[in-house]
Chain A
Amino acid sequence: MKSCSKAILGLTLLLAGCLHFAPARAETAPASCEVPDHLLSSESALNKVADAVKAGRPLEILVVGSRSSTINTTDGSAYPGRLQAILREKLRPVPVNVSLELQAKKTAEEVAATFVKLVEKKPTLVVWQTGTVDAMRSIDPDDFRGAVEEGVAALQNAGTDVVLMNLQFSPRTETMISPSPYLDNMRMVAQQHDVPLFDRFAIMHHWNDQGDFDLFSASHGIELAKRVHDCLGRALSKLIIDAAHLNPAQQN
């Protein structure tokens, strides 16, 4: 068995130039992207989500994010699409709709200003992915924290649940983007406003350390991105279900 996978590995390495590494590896070992419990546990509850699911009302989730909330495909393989598919399956028969509001190249402050309009559609939950643009433009971390606080407060006042999602773990750009002040500030805001934080950075870091994904890979292919987003969608769905204290087994 071992030698077999070795042979496959060798072959894939040989073919790496013309073929994508990812699918071959995916066949030998389906991506195991488990996330340790402490990275998904949250003391903050998603009460609005819990109420909607218990009352059998449709669960409207709005993902507000920048470019890293998408990949260049149209088939819903980015994490918002995966989240919808997984939640629909787990929470059946509750209807789940996940929509994405892409706000490319906008800082937290610029995005927060649009929330008043966005919440007019009355989503049950807003997943706010932010921090990347601010880190790239090295926005003052204090200003960043202020903007995130403002945004979260606006969403909470409008009566939606909120999940904050932080930056991707991007080892290749670490010399150019310094994420830590933004990660720290998002953690702080999440604690202060009692909002679950989906620690995308730590989770991807964990996968990279465990060897689930080689995030250093210079691969030009889309497969790695698809698998990472699938796993992100899975982890996010788990966070939402746990934080809303839903037991999927009972729902089925």
Chain B
Amino acid sequence: MTSIADRIAEPALAGKADAILREAAPAISIPAIGERELRLDLFRGLALWLIFIDHLPPNILTWFTIRNYGFSDATEIFIFISGYTAAFVYGRAMLQSGVVVATARILRRVWQIYVAHVFLFTIFLAEISYVATSFENPLYTEEMGIMDFLKQPDITIVQALLLRFRPVNMDVLPLYIVLMLFLPLILWLMKWRADVTLALSVALYAVTWQYDLYLTAYPNGFWAFNPFAWQLLFVFGAWCALGGAQRMSRILTSSVTLWICIVYLFASFCVTMTWYFPQLGHLLPRRVEQWMYPINKTDLDVLRFAHFLALAAITVRFLPKDWPGLKSPWLRPLILCGQHSLEIFCLGVFLAFAGHFVLAEVNGGAWMHFLVSISGILIMCAMAWLISWYKHSADKSASKSKSAGGNADMAGGGS
């Protein structure tokens, strides 16, 4: 975590850089260097916990995840905040060190995420190979057919390396990889005209819906998160980070916006309730139903996007940047998890595999489900704390030897 906070140590340098930035790039404004935006970390940490819980078999904790109370879920939060922090960090790098260096840094980051994805795939392979050889219940002969891909490692593994073969629960990182891969282009455009970039992104989203663009997957089907559609959230996050949020502040503080958001969130809550209590279903007018369904997650349905916007607007309004609670030790675990999102995300996916495995090997009772979820979250927190401690002490010793471009990847844990 060579983070924004650490950079305050060099205020003079940073200030100079900032001055240069303002002259060089009138199109976008990067918020002055301040303390790390803890709200982002907090909500990204929350998103990571929720994604972990959603990846486990349903249990009591599943009822606490936001997807049960509205259209959008933790994935939206994760992608938006990733866009925001990535633009914040690499946008600054692009203005300071130029397009080429910033691109190189971003590509290095993409490589890290790719390696993480392949590592998770290896763990997945190990787990299911074990299950395949140790489990021959005749009741499930058909379901075991899913292991058939093990018979063709030549194809499957190559397809996995090409990101086309993705097992269950391994869809977010490939999306993230593709989005990050296009980040240099996005930032470069933003540097030129931020609003035009956002408009282009909206246009691509519209074209995706109109002409049904998608990426195919192996052995069939397509990407569970369509990058052509989900880029909208990522670019929107980047746009907000590069001054858009400030320019929107008048809209965000207006009470009209607030009421629209509240009404929309309530409406979406009511609709979600009809999924869990079908007897309420008849209350929903048929015409609304026909217009609304299906609410498509693959292509980031407009209703989901709007739901996320409403949530975000209300959050920003009622949770000020300087809310003292952000410093409270109770929220510390969440914030720490959010600050090391790649590591914790991967750990979460791994723990979800491991959790399934424990439930399968030991016992699948409700209490065990609960225990697995809770211990998973505790492990994630402990790991986040450990990484943070390690980076902190590593940075300390590094600053003694004073490595110049030390902040090459301050987004290392951050984006």
Contacts and interface: CB of A to CB of B under 8 A. Distances in A.
A177 B128 contact: no
Contact of A219 (B131, B137, B168, B364): B137
B135 interface: yes
Given A132-B142, A174-B57, A176-B146, A224 B222 contact: no
B140 A168 contact: yes
Interface of A: 66-68, 71-72, 104-105, 132-133, 136-140, 142, 168, 170-178, 191, 208-209, 215-222, 224-225, 228-229
Contacts of A176: 128, 146-147, 167-168
Contacts of A178: 168-169
Centre residue among B57, B137, B357 by max chain A CB count within 10 A = B137
Contact of B138 (A142, A173, A222): A222
B285 interface: no
A105 B219 CA distance: 14
A217 to B, nearest CB: 7
A178 B352 CA distance: 14
Interface in B135-185: 135-147, 167-169
Given A140-B221, A171-B359, A209-B366, A215 B142 contact: no
A225 B139 contact: yes
Interface string B360-395: 110111100000000000000000000000000000
Contacts, number: 105
Nearest to A145: B294
Contacts of B219: 137
6 nearest CB pairs, A to B: A67-B142, A225-B139, A68-B142, A175-B356, A170-B143, A225-B138
B370 to A, nearest CB: 14
A142 B131 contact: no
A172 B167 contact: no
A145 to B, nearest CB: 8
A216 B136 contact: no
A177 B168 contact: yes
B340 to A, nearest CB: 24
A207 B52 CA distance: 27
B220 interface: yes
B89 to A, nearest CB: 34
B37 interface: no
Contact of B222 (A137, A140, A222, A228): A140
B134 interface: yes
Contact of A216 (B169, B352, B363, B366): B363
Contacts of A104: 142
Contacts of A191: 278
Given A136-B143, A209-B366, A216-B363, A175 B135 contact: no
Q: Determine chain A's interface SS by DSSP, over half rule.
A: loop
B127 interface: yes
Dominant SS among interface residues on chain B: helix
Contact of B364 (A67, A171, A229): A171
B353 interface: yes
Contact of A67 (B141, B294, B359): B141
A173 B143 contact: yes
Contacts of B147: 176
B165 to A, nearest CB: 11
A176 B147 CA distance: 9
B137 A220 contact: yes
Contacts of B142: 66-68, 104, 132-133, 168
Interface string B106-148: 0000000000000000001001100100111111111111110
B75 to A, nearest CB: 15
A72 B141 CA distance: 9
A75 B96 CA distance: 77
Contacts of A174: 57, 356
A128 to B, nearest CB: 15
B160 to A, nearest CB: 14
B155 to A, nearest CB: 15
B292 to A, nearest CB: 13
Contacts of A216: 359-361, 363-364
A139 B168 contact: no
Nearest to A68: B142
Nearest to B144: A173
A68 B364 contact: no
A105 B143 CA distance: 11
A217 B362 CA distance: 10
Given A137-B220, A138-B220, A168 B356 contact: no
28 contacts: A67-B142, A68-B140, A72-B138, A72-B141, A136-B145, A136-B146, A137-B220, A170-B140, A170-B143, A172-B137, A172-B140, A172-B360, A173-B146, A175-B124, A175-B127, A175-B128, A175-B167, A177-B168, A178-B169, A217-B137, A218-B134, A218-B135, A218-B137, A220-B136, A224-B138, A225-B137, A225-B139, A229-B139
Nearest to B147: A176
Contact of B294 (A142, A177, A225, A229): A142
Contacts of B137: 172, 217-220, 224-225
Nearest to B55: A175
Contacts of B145: 67, 105, 136
Nearest to B141: A67
